[in-house]
């Protein structure tokens, strides 16, 4: 999220929180999270990440 193109230097914390919440609620971001979790499970990476 820190590298998201809409997050700019000089933004207030309030603006960033609003933007991050909007990004997290988007369907495609949720799908990316689910895909990542699936890959972790498929490749047994959870033990490495914990």
- Summarised one tens digit per residue, pLDDT across range 14-49 is 999 999 888 888 768 778 888 888 887 777 766 666
From CA 32, how far away is CA 34, in angstroms rounded?
A: 5
pTM of the entire predicted model: 0.49
pLDDT average, residue stretch 4-15 = 89
Question: Domain boundaries in the chain?
Answer: 13-49
In angstroms, what CA-CA distances link 48 with 20, 39, 40, 44? 27, 13, 9, 8
């Amino acid at each position: 999220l820190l590298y998201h193109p809409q997050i700019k230097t000089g933004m207030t914390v309030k603006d960033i929180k609003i933007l991050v919440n909007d990004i997290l609620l988007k369907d495609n971001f949720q799908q990316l999270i689910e895909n990542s979790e699936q890959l972790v499970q498929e490749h047994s990476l959870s033990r490495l990440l914990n």
